[in-house]
Chain A
């Protein structure tokens, strides 16, 4: 990529090198009324990149529900904002940093976390929690998917070693940034599939809190107001980083893109946070926008466009880390930890003083102007001159062709074959518990500071959702809590993107409800392959329909998020992987529910809101399960059928039970099915076991390991039985007494009078608790 002086004559070839198509180039000429110079071409190319412009996704994203009575700010700003009562709002958003994390795992992950944190405090909200939704390629050959079912590179030792290295770098990066910045990393998920081998997914979600009237928007206002640059100095790092890395697929040369990855400094970001919040409190700040993807370009152009103003800046005033940087380089640099803000004219000193106190650069670099023209000068000479609104809002929009992939020839022969009646399933159960997707993530999450800020009521694994309390909401000793969960099953979306996406929404909402919180809003991170492939666009469109339908049914509008296309390496797409983050409110944080069983003698109840016959062949449905993949190497069939009305009934029932305080523990049934759910509730409760028995008219494996939705396990004190059954009836949820929590540390599951699993907890716990560490740590 040429990073050259303004004198370079722009040709269609140079435009093509910038990823600008012939039609897009013509559109640029039309907006400018002339040929662009090289700096202008650079600006157009990043603003119109897939990553920044959403040109392929826009037409579909319009179908998502974004309104709700609690939504204060929907998509289009730095983060979504929802009303959480008492004059407080929550700002939250999820964003991807997949490509940089493959090229340079540690820095890719740190800057992913750094970017999303800036999005939150740009809104005037103090970040209080981070979650990370991560996907990696296989880190072990155990449970390898049969070659019939995957087009991914076979998991050879070199690939496995590379995947472990990526995981290690990403984990360290996620941890380092949050730990140093001082925000707890409280949850998320980590999943494994061969398709993520050369394209890990690193999706970071941040949550912040502010007073409703203190929310800041990125709209330049007030002609003549000064534009101030604050934070780290601008260097040559990250030029075309997020915008270009994330807007093309990977080839064998991708490792050469390492210099395009930005480098993060959480210490500077922590200073920037404190300084920005303090500057905002002076009342002299009019608007603020972080410099993320496309750096100074995006922040200046978007602020002016949203405000309906023009802007004029002089690059000579921009603090620079290196000498001899061209306007092109300064405008396109993605150096981290920088902000652009507009102050009230005459009060710039107040703002500059705050940044000086925190030891950060803060310089007036320009002014808000009338007329809508963005003028970039360098030492007084005009380097670029572009109408801001057409640049930001009149970029190309593509309605790309869609085509359902040719349905894979699949017959009953490909489906999972259930073990004969009476088989001993203990070994398979142990193997399932040890599989990386299901095994305890303790070894990973212990590398994250989960308790800083002293608000974490439930950190990773303690509850189905992460729960933080809001000290600012305290009234008579009662504090509100916020619950957050992320979910997304790529394997299911590969098999059926619409149903798979609905499951992602339903599971995240169910996880929030299982923690006792009422789900209120959603954010989404849509990880897909190349939009230039009709099959990928079809997957995308289907997934959007699924998300839209589920979010509408469950009352959780989408408030923001991001789209990550081109998740492909050497022509192979990842599984389509929409990741959904759902936020919920607990009116009384002390009523939060956790996974762990609490008392021996408590009754274990299965809450099942769905009609048990889903209509699908059980073998076909089961072939998409974690068990089928791990034990049989089979990935086929269809995800379980989904009944959104049933999901909603279960959610309402769980929220009511938690509010009434009539439940001791709650855990939803998902990956690994009922058996894994029961085991995890035992593992979390030191020293307690469970003994259950039930009759289900299906094979033992289906009964134990099916991942059918709308179900959860609760444990209750025997005195509450009648009340709980009545509540379940009220919400039209089946409540089935399965057995009891036991003093004996063993897990016993009896099916139709026959013990399918009967094991001391220590044996199964070891498989679950330590397998990840054993795999990843070489001593």
Chain B
């Protein structure tokens, strides 16, 4: 089992994702340079947070054209597991691998703090180790996390159970009150219809140890590991 963490110029959470997988989950992990089209036989790809290409033009808008994204698209289309975190989520939306787009936070300011997100679906490789309704405490750190889509797309996301995480209060009772950035339907993370590509604005890789105030992000990475173990068994 091998994870790949893509490094775009301006990625700055690449080391954190690498540490989370390599030093906390003790799984094999490798950096993948943005100009490479070789995904190094990785079984899962992480698009990390940061300011790829300075976030010039729009967040993720330039990253989606980098050579590595051609391979990531191919990998995703063939069923490979891809997780985009923060800037990675924005890039997946720009690349059309996930629906919707990100607007400026409703308060028009960068926000960094712990938020609470509720796990909405557990039948995905990103959430299978979580309980439905489980509330995770995970930090956000972004200016552009205001998830926006047209009515038809939102209806489809709801109907096909593609909304994986919604902002909420610590007890999971009031989503609007827990929404930090104005996201439609209080969306914090979604997956594609095939359920192998997911993106979320909060940073699970920053919530892997209680020493850093929360280990709730572990469940997302553990889900991915379990899914890969399951897939390996199925093909064996």
Contacts and interface: CB of A to CB of B under 8 A. Distances in A.
Interface of A: 172, 175-176, 179-182, 265-268, 270-271, 358-359, 446-454, 456-457, 469, 471, 589-590
A267 B54 contact: yes
B36 to A, nearest CB: 12
Interface in B18-63: 19-20, 23, 49-51, 53-56
Interface stretch (B118-126, B182-190, B204-212): B204-212
A125 to B, nearest CB: 15
B133 interface: no
Contacts of B53: 267
Contacts of A446: 111-113
B12 A181 contact: yes
Chain A interface mostly helix, strand, loop or mixed?
mixed
B153 to A, nearest CB: 29
A448 B111 CA distance: 7
Contacts of B111: 446-447
Contacts of A589: 211
B12 A176 contact: no
B212 A179 contact: no
B92 interface: no
B205 A182 contact: no
Contacts of A270: 9-10, 12, 51
A454 B206 contact: yes
Contact of A451 (B51, B139, B211): B139
Nearest to A450: B112
B112 A182 contact: no
Nearest to A443: B109
Interface in B199-236: 203, 205-206, 208-209, 211-212
B15 interface: yes
A182 B54 contact: no
Contact of A271 (B9, B56, B208): B9
B13 interface: yes
B110 interface: yes
B141 interface: yes
- What band does the interface of chain B fall in when counting residues whose beta carbon is under 8 Å from A? 20 to 34
Contact of B141 (A271, A359, A451, A469): A451
B206 A451 contact: yes
Contacts of B110: 175-176, 179, 447-449
A451 B15 contact: no
B16 interface: yes
A15 to B, nearest CB: 41
Contacts of B206: 451-452, 454
Contacts of A172: 109
A597 to B, nearest CB: 17
30 contacts: A176-B110, A179-B112, A179-B141, A179-B143, A180-B54, A180-B55, A182-B50, A182-B51, A265-B54, A270-B9, A270-B51, A271-B10, A359-B9, A446-B111, A446-B112, A446-B113, A451-B112, A451-B139, A451-B203, A451-B212, A453-B15, A453-B16, A454-B20, A454-B205, A454-B206, A454-B209, A454-B212, A457-B212, A469-B211, A471-B19
Contacts of B20: 454
B51 A180 contact: yes
A590 B109 CA distance: 33
Contacts of A182: 12-13, 50-51
B51 A454 contact: no
A454 B19 contact: yes
A590 B211 contact: yes
A475 B17 CA distance: 21
Which of the listed residues A179, A358, A449, A589 has the most CB atoms from chain B within 10 Å of its own CB? A449
B139 to A, nearest CB: 5
A271 B209 CA distance: 29
A254 B15 CA distance: 43
Contact of B10 (A175, A176, A267): A267
A227 B116 CA distance: 52
A267 B9 CA distance: 8
A358 B8 CA distance: 10
Contacts of A452: 12-13, 16, 49, 141, 206
Which of the listed residues A181, A267, A454 has the most CB atoms from chain B within 10 Å of its own CB? A454
Contact of B56 (A176, A181, A267, A453): A267
Nearest to A455: B212
A124 to B, nearest CB: 17
B10 A180 contact: yes
Which of the listed residues A172, A182, A358 has the most CB atoms from chain B within 10 Å of its own CB? A182
Given A270-B51, A447-B111, A456 B13 contact: no
A266 B12 CA distance: 12
Contacts of B113: 446
B117 to A, nearest CB: 16
B115 to A, nearest CB: 11
Q: Which 10 A-B residue pairings sit nearest by Cβ, starting from the closest?
A: A182-B12, A267-B54, A180-B51, A449-B141, A454-B16, A449-B112, A447-B110, A451-B206, A451-B139, A267-B10
A456 B141 CA distance: 14
A353 to B, nearest CB: 14
Contacts of B212: 451, 454, 456-457
A449 B141 CA distance: 6
A282 B49 CA distance: 28
Given A180-B55, A451-B112, A457 B211 contact: yes
A450 B141 CA distance: 8
Nearest to B205: A454
A447 B51 contact: no
Contacts of A450: 112
Contacts of B12: 180-182, 270, 452
A203 B149 CA distance: 42
B220 to A, nearest CB: 15
